[in-house]
């Protein structure tokens, strides 16, 4: 009887069309998570096989199953630990020789394997022929050809999976390792003695892995075997004897033999066309990777990417905004009613949280477009070309060719977002370069930094606005590159740096469904992570800026103001026909009633519809309606009086809020930080704005707005800031802009840093060093500029020159690899000289 629930794994090398096969089998029934404890994405999908429910797990794409890379370890641990009933090994039919390398390793692990020859359409187009029956006979395991892109071969693949379930395994292809076989048997004999290990793991595979010197298997042995040291001694002796006999290391012999076996199988099963044709990809690469055209095409593509995702995405976000606005007003309706002076805590906290979330949701269209475009770039095969073109340049700064995309997303020019940027570092195989990239992406100019720039430029650099914008947009790159270099030769020095070996797959036309699926998947994952975190952080920040709250005497002061306003209104009521209908307790309800009418009629352009709304409100409460909508002589008179009350209410609410803000925990912090930040020219008001920006950078502008009390007045933030900070000079503004540019990642981005670096320590480091660097740079510019008596513009370009110079100097310093390479070549030189002398 077949089991009712079946675990099937999908393995395959990169670029073999594995995700297409995955989607073909599972359709929309899939979800994404991470493998426990690591940042490798784990995709799970489901499909039915008659009455059996199958869970399909997509293993990371790997060329091999060693333990040098995280992906390979994850894939292997899954095969060994979760024991899938069947493994579908997807192979690129047109590149069978290389793909078989993984297949043979799977067979060696003794997992029931179905070999899926995918991309058979490409095989046919190239005029190759694969003898499937012969291949199946040689391998001793089912071989199924498919054209997953066209959905062909799905049923055959399922049938093959079914044929393997619950059946005793026949003899499968075994690689003959020749001279090594004796050593393998010798180790097998030792391993078989251990009762636990020999049941848990395939013994021959274990022996081969030990001979290969595989770190992961060595660990396994230490963990499971009772007398591991004895086995290690034996392995060591085998390896040494083999090296002596054959003249090269075991691992090399094993890999070379595997390749030999692949080549042999290919000779027997695949026929290639006589003439070799240059395929389309080769011809395209002649231009795409061309010395002159390549960089130009790259810039053009990045420009289009930026235009569509940021510029068009911003427009789209504006169109969608009413939706989030509706969410906010819906929350406003559901939550308890507003008070005259203070709102109930449930209302203010609820609105605060909803507003924080909608602020993030506002970026959703941008993320969606970004993720779609990235999926297009990935599926088309352009990504590796991008890395190919830029690797040399980035290498000089300790980054990687593949760091380009994260930096673009973060906002190399103006208007990115660090969250997708940090997310995109996942693809970088070099650990050191990856971390360096994660550390500098938040220094790019994300969209949320722009409002503050605009306020400051408007207030202090309005005569040179264009060039100032250019300055702040480009100077960040010249700050980020040297920082990346410094980090990679200091704190990241010890991190493993992987060799740059990258496949350049042929170009593919991406499918719409594939792109959409990927984009939606990522957006969803992002939402789940971010929205929960943002909600939690919003609560904390709310407490920080609202508590401990006003003192009793100040509260009494505001209440007196309120009472006076209400009393004046009531005196007016007494002179009208409403004196019996309206009491002092009705004042607030009337105000809210008026607001409700305004809200209901917002965005209603149809006259009849508006009249209908009016009629409904009038019916609900004629007296309130008369006052709010100026009906009749009394209504008009009272409306005038009501407006005064509303004005007073707004004023005292604003003043009370500003006061609460100043005396809040965050406000106290802002004052406490003044001794440090004075060197950068920041007073406590600026400190509060900067502190509140940590939750989300838009807050800096919003906070400045509420500090300078702009709501309700017609003044813009820059005008009221200029008025409120008489002593401010352009130098202050410049220091503030530079601090903002270097500002630590906001909370959601920090969470992303944590999840991508897989360590809280790196997140804290990222926050810490950027804060210190920002303070240092701002102090340097402000204090330095003041001492030297520079104007804002002089200081700006002086600083620019300094950054460019630092970048150039940093490019000159050799990376650790280059140092090693120099040492290595010196040694070879010495050796050759020594040899010659002999």
Partner 1 sequence: MTLDELQPGVCCTMKDMTADGALGQRLMDLGFCPGALIEIVRNAPLIDPVELHLDGYHVSIRHNEAKHIEVEA
Q: Which stretch binds partner 1 (CB under 8 A): 254-262, 324-332, 449-457, 686-694?
A: 254-262
Task: Copy the structure tokens of residue 584.
Answer: 């002092």
- Residues 193/194/196/198 CA torsion (nearest 10 deg): -50
- Rounded to whole angstroms, the Cα distance separating 788 from 782 reads 10
Q: Cβ(184)–Cβ(171) under 8 Å? A: no
3-class DSSP assignment, residue 82: coil
Shortest Cβ 536–partner 1 spacing (Å): 40
Shortest Cβ 453–partner 1 spacing (Å): 33
Q: Choose, by CB under 8 A, the member of 7, 132, 156, 255 that binds partner 1.
A: 255
Considering the complex, state which of residue 165 and residue 502 has its C-beta at the smaller distance from partner 1. Answer: 502
Q: Which stretch binds partner 1 (CB under 8 A): 137-145, 386-394, 538-546, 721-729?
A: 386-394
Shortest Cβ 95–partner 1 spacing (Å): 5
Considering the complex, state which of residue 501 and residue 509 has its C-beta at the smaller distance from partner 1. Answer: 501
Q: How many residues bind partner 1 (CB under 8 A)?
A: 46
Beta strands in 51-180 (DSSP E): 52-58, 86-92, 113-118, 129-130, 143-145
Considering the complex, state which of residue 604 and residue 827 has its C-beta at the smaller distance from partner 1. Answer: 827
Closest Cα partner for 154 from 102, 96, 88?
88
Q: Can you tell me which residue has the tokens 């290391």?
A: 249
List residues bridging with 6 in a β-sheet.
54
- Rounded to whole angstroms, the Cα distance separating 661 from 670 reads 10
Considering the complex, state which of residue 384 and residue 744 has its C-beta at the smaller distance from partner 1. Answer: 384
Q: Choose, by CB under 8 A, the member of 64, 200, 314, 715 that binds partner 1.
A: 64
Q: What is the DSSP string of 337-404?
A: PP-SSS--HHHHHHHHHHHHHHHHHTTHHHHHHHHHHHHHHHHHTHHHHHHHHHHHHHHTTT--GGGH
3-class DSSP assignment, residue 188: helix
Shortest Cβ 213–partner 1 spacing (Å): 9
Shortest Cβ 147–partner 1 spacing (Å): 19
787 lies in the site for partner 1, by CB under 8 A: no
Shortest Cβ 63–partner 1 spacing (Å): 4
185 lies in the site for partner 1, by CB under 8 A: no
Q: Choose, by CB under 8 A, the member of 154, 241, 243, 259 that binds partner 1.
A: 259
Q: Choose, by CB under 8 A, the member of 43, 147, 347, 395 that binds partner 1.
A: 395
Considering the complex, state which of residue 92 and residue 634 has its C-beta at the smaller distance from partner 1. Answer: 92
- Residues 220/224/230/235 CA torsion (nearest 10 deg): -30
785 lies in the site for partner 1, by CB under 8 A: no
Binding to partner 1 (CB under 8 A) within 804-833 occurs at: 817, 821
Q: Choose, by CB under 8 A, the member of 29, 125, 252, 602 that binds partner 1.
A: 252
Q: Choose, by CB under 8 A, the member of 19, 20, 30, 95 that binds partner 1.
A: 95
Which run of H or E residues covers position 271? strand 270-271
Closest Cα partner for 527 from 838, 248, 752?
752
Shortest Cβ 178–partner 1 spacing (Å): 14
Q: Can you tell me which residue has the tokens 């809200």?
A: 599
Cα Rg of the chain (Å, integer): 34
Binding to partner 1 (CB under 8 A) within 295-354 occurs at: 295
Binding to partner 1 (CB under 8 A) within 66-85 occurs at: 66, 68-69
Interface mask toward partner 1 for 34-63; x: CB under 8 A: -----------------------------x
Shortest Cβ 401–partner 1 spacing (Å): 8
Shortest Cβ 103–partner 1 spacing (Å): 13
Interface mask toward partner 1 for 212-251; x: CB under 8 A: -------------------------------------x-x
Q: Can you tell me which residue has the tokens 């692990």?
A: 109
Considering the complex, state which of residue 195 and residue 499 has its C-beta at the smaller distance from partner 1. Answer: 499
Considering the complex, state which of residue 94 and residue 519 has its C-beta at the smaller distance from partner 1. Answer: 94
Shortest Cβ 66–partner 1 spacing (Å): 5
Instruction: Name residues whose C-beta falls within 8 Å of residue 163's C-beta, 6 or more positions apart in sequence.
Output: 142
Shortest Cβ 721–partner 1 spacing (Å): 45
Which run of H or E residues covers position 149? none
> How many C-beta atoms surround the C-beta of residue 621 within 10 A?
16
Shortest Cβ 509–partner 1 spacing (Å): 18
- Residues 535/537/541/544 CA torsion (nearest 10 deg): 120
Q: Which stretch binds partner 1 (CB under 8 A): 115-123, 385-393, 669-677, 799-807?
A: 385-393
Sign of CA dihedral 534, 539, 545, 546: positive
3-class DSSP assignment, residue 23: helix
Could you tell me whether strands 5-12 and 30-34 are parallel, antiparallel, or unpaired per DSSP bridges?
unpaired
Binding to partner 1 (CB under 8 A) within 491-550 occurs at: 496, 498-505
393 lies in the site for partner 1, by CB under 8 A: yes
Q: Can you tell me which residue has the tokens 């693809």?
A: 427
Q: Which residues of 748-783 are buried (b: 16+ CB within 10 A; e: fewer)?
A: bbbbbbbbbbeeeebbebbbebbbebbbebbbbbbb
Q: Choose, by CB under 8 A, the member of 61, 84, 384, 482 that binds partner 1.
A: 384
Considering the complex, state which of residue 500 and residue 776 has its C-beta at the smaller distance from partner 1. Answer: 500
Considering the complex, state which of residue 66 and residue 146 has its C-beta at the smaller distance from partner 1. Answer: 66
Shortest Cβ 759–partner 1 spacing (Å): 22
Binding to partner 1 (CB under 8 A) within 699-718 occurs at: none
Residues in the chain: 838
Q: Cβ(75)–Cβ(60) under 8 Å? A: yes
Beta strands in 35-111 (DSSP E): 41-49, 52-58, 86-92
Shortest Cβ 283–partner 1 spacing (Å): 12
Task: Copy the structure tokens of residue 812.
Answer: 């000159």
Considering the complex, state which of residue 244 and residue 392 has its C-beta at the smaller distance from partner 1. Answer: 392
Considering the complex, state which of residue 294 and residue 705 has its C-beta at the smaller distance from partner 1. Answer: 294
Considering the complex, state which of residue 128 and residue 786 has its C-beta at the smaller distance from partner 1. Answer: 128
Closest Cα partner for 658 from 719, 695, 703?
703
- Rounded to whole angstroms, the Cα distance separating 165 from 1 reads 10
Considering the complex, state which of residue 174 and residue 252 has its C-beta at the smaller distance from partner 1. Answer: 252
98 lies in the site for partner 1, by CB under 8 A: yes
Shortest Cβ 148–partner 1 spacing (Å): 19
Dihedrals phi, psi of 58, to nearest 5 degrees: -85, 110
- Rounded to whole angstroms, the Cα distance separating 73 from 114 reads 21
Interface mask toward partner 1 for 457-476; x: CB under 8 A: --------------------
Binding to partner 1 (CB under 8 A) within 260-299 occurs at: 260, 281-282, 285-286, 289-292, 294-295
Q: Which residues of 626-640 are buried (b: 16+ CB within 10 A; e: fewer)?
A: bbbbbbeebbebbbe
Dihedrals phi, psi of 14, to nearest 5 degrees: -60, 150
Longest dimension (CA), the chain: 120
Shortest Cβ 293–partner 1 spacing (Å): 9
Interface mask toward partner 1 for 99-118; x: CB under 8 A: --x-----------------
Distance from the Cα of residue 313 to its chain's centroid: 17
Considering the complex, state which of residue 17 and residue 384 has its C-beta at the smaller distance from partner 1. Answer: 384
Binding site for partner 1 (CB under 8 A): 63-64, 66, 68-69, 94-95, 97-98, 101, 249, 251-252, 255-256, 259-260, 281-282, 285-286, 289-292, 294-295, 384, 388-389, 391-393, 395, 401, 496, 498-505, 817, 821
């Amino acid at each position: 009887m077949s089991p009712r629930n079946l675990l099937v794994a999908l393995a395959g090398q990169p670029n073999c069309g594995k995700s297409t096969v995955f989607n073909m089998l599972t359709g929309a029934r899939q979800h994404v998570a991470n493998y426990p404890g690591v940042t490798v994405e784990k995709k799970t999908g489901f499909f039915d096989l008659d009455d059996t429910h199958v869970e399909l797990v997509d293993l990371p794409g790997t060329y091999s199953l060693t333990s040098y890379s995280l992906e390979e370890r994850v894939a292997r641990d899954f095969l060994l630990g979760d024991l899938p009933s069947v493994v579908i090994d997807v192979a690129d039919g047109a590149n069978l020789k290389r793909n078989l390398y993984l297949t043979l390793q799977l067979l060696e692990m003794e997992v029931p394997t179905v070999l899926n020859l995918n991309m058979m359409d490409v095989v046919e187009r190239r005029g190759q022929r694969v003898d499937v029956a012969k291949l199946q006979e040689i391998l001793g395991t089912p071989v199924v050809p498919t054209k997953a892109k066209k959905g062909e071969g799905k049923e055959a693949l399922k049938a093959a999976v079914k044929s393997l379930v619950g059946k005793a395994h026949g003899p499968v292809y075994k690689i003959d390792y020749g001279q090594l076989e004796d050593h393998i048997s010798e180790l097998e004999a030792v391993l078989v003695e251990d009762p636990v290990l020999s049941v848990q793991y395939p013994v021959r595979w274990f022996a081969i892995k030990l001979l290969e010197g595989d770190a992961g298997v060595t660990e396994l042995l230490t963990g499971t075997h009772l007398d591991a040291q004895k086995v290690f001694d034996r392995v060591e002796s085998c390896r040494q004897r083999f090296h002596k006999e054959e003249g090269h290391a075991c691992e090399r012999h094993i890999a070379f033999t595997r390749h030999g076996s692949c080549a042999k199988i290919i000779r027997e099963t695949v026929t290639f066309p006589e003439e070799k044709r240059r395929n389309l990809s080769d011809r395209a690469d002649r231009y795409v990777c061309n010395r002159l055209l390549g960089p130009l095409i790259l810039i053009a593509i990045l420009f289009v990417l930026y235009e569509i995702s940021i510029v068009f995405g911003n427009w789209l976000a504006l169109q969608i905004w009413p939706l989030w606005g509706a969410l906010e007003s819906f929350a406003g309706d559901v939550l308890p009613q507003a008070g005259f002076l203070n709102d109930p805590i449930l209302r203010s906290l609820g609105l605060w949280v909803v507003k924080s979330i909608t602020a993030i949701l506002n970026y959703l269209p941008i993320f969606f477009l970004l993720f779609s475009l990235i999926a297009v770039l990935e599926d088309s095969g352009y990504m590796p070309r991008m890395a190919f073109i830029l690797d040399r340049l980035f290498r000089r700064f300790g980054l990687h060719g593949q760091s380009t995309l994260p930096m673009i997303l973060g906002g190399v020019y103006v208007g990115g977002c660090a969250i997708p940027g940090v997310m995109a570092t996942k693809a970088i195989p070099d650990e050191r370069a990856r971390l360096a990239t994660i550390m500098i992406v938040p220094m790019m100019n994300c969209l949320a930094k722009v409002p503050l720039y605009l306020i400051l430029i408007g207030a202090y650099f309005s005569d040179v606005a264009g060039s100032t914008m250019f300055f702040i947009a480009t100077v960040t790159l010249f700050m980020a590159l040297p920082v990346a270099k410094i980090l990679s030769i200091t704190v990241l020095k010890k991190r493993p740096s992987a060799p740059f070996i990258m496949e350049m797959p042929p170009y593919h036309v991406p499918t719409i469904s594939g792109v959409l699926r990927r984009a939606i998947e990522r957006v969803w994952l992002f939402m789940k992570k971010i929205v929960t975190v943002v909600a939690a952080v919003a609560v904390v920040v709310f407490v920080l800026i609202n508590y401990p709250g006003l003192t009793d005497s100040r509260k009494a002061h505001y209440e007196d103001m309120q009472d006076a306003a209400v009393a004046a209104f009531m005196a007016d009521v007494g002179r009208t026909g409403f004196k019996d209908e309206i009491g002092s307790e009705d004042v607030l309800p009337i105000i809210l009633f008026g607001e409700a009418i305004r809200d209901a009629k917002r965005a209603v352009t149809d006259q009849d519809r508006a009249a209908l709304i009016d009629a409904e409100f009038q019916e609900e409460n004629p007296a309130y309606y008369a006052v709010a909508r100026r009906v009749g002589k009394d209504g008009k008179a009272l409306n005038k009086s009501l407006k005064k009350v509303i004005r007073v209410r707004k004023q005292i609410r604003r003043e009370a809020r500003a006061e609460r803000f100043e005396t809040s925990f965050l406000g106290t912090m802002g004052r406490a930080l003044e001794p440090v930040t004075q060197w950068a020219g920041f007073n406590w008001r600026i400190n509060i704005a900067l502190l509140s920006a940590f939750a989300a950078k838009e807050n800096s502008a919003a906070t400045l707005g509420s500090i300078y009390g702009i709501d309700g007045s017609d003044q813009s933030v820059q005008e009221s800031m200029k008025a409120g900070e008489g002593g401010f000079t352009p130098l202050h503004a410049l220091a503030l802009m530079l601090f903002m540019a270097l500002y630590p990642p906001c909370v959601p981005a920090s969470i992303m840093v944590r999840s991508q670096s897989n360590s809280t320590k790196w997140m804290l480091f990222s926050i810490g060093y950027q804060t210190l660097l920002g303070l240092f740079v701002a102090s340097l510019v402000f204090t330095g500029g003041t001492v030297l008596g520079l104007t804002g513009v002089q200081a700006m370009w002086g600083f620019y020159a300094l950054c460019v110079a630092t970048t150039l100097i940093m490019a000159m310093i050799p990376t650790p690899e280059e140092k090693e390479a120099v040492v290595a070549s010196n040694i070879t030189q010495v050796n050759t000289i020594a040899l010659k002398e002999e």
